[in-house]
Amino acid sequence: MDLRDAIVLVTGGGTGIGRATAQRLRQAGARVAICGRRQQPLETAAAELDVVPIVGDVGVESDAVRIVRTVTETFGDYNTLINNAGWGRFMSLVDLDLDDFRAVMNTNVFGAMLMARESAKHFIRRGGGHIVNVASTAASRGFAGGTAYCASKFALSGMTECWRAELRTHDVRVMQVNPSEVLTDFSSTSGREQRSSPRKLRGDEIAHAIASMLEMDDRGFTTELTVFATNPDQ
């Protein structure tokens, strides 16, 4: 796809990977909307990046429907979903609260499904589109304290495979990117400590991966791409 032809919605686009992705795609000539629950980060990013902000919670069905409708009404069309919104809660199994588990699943799984469903309806009608699910290396390997987060990313990976099988015949490419640790505000909002290092991944590297996946000619696509820092602990 020529990124100048992309009409993009980035969920969780006010900060972190989402913001970096919105910035890269906008700089490449795409028309971009970002959505998220927090109004202030969205408005700040929108003003700095020249993108359209839409406040809403992807895990709320009525919000998901409204967000996609707003994108199509604003731009007159829509062809690319970056399913990025997500967060985590990290604690041992014996300390894990059911409400926290449900909250993680609500955004990372139910929200991803709702945004993909509403987007796919439009993509099928228009005869093609692109979905990039931002999963994690935690989608393939669990770790201590990761019950809620890993479960949500394993689920997203499984859904990606299902959607890919369903939507290929409609010329909709469904792709997945798996970042390893990225320096964002993700850890601070999840309650998990993160050690800063200039050698760790930034949102920019993941944005680069996503843009590269989208830029391949539409006759082919990268089904899954994993991004590691080269030597983060040196």
* Averaged pLDDT for residues 93-108: 97
* Averaged pLDDT for residues 90-98: 96
Please calculate the CA angle 184-22-213 and round it to the nearest 5 degrees: 95
* Averaged pLDDT for residues 119-132: 98
Q: Residue 76: its pLDDT value, please?
A: 98
Which positions are catalytic? Answer: 149
Distances (CA, A) of 80 to 8, 125, 201, 214: 5, 14, 24, 9
% of the chain surpassing 90 pLDDT: 90
145-159, pLDDT tens digit by residue? 999 999 999 999 999
38-67, pLDDT tens digit by residue? 999 999 999 999 999 999 999 999 999 999
The answer to whether 71 and 79 have CB atoms below 8 angstroms apart is: no
* Averaged pLDDT for residues 104-127: 98
183-233, pLDDT tens digit by residue? 877 655 655 666 778 888 999 999 999 999 999 999 999 999 999 999 887
Contacts of 154 (CB under 8 A, 6+ apart): 138, 139, 140
Domains of the chain: 3-227 (3.40.50.720)
Q: Residue 81: its pLDDT value, please?
A: 99
* Averaged pLDDT for residues 174-190: 81
Contacts of 229 (CB under 8 A, 6+ apart): 180, 181, 199, 200, 201
pLDDT band of 134, cuts 50, 70, 90: very high
* Averaged pLDDT for residues 145-174: 98
* 142 burial via Cβ count (<10 Å: 0-12, 13-18, 19+): middle
- The pTM of the full predicted model, rounded to 2 decimals, is 0.93
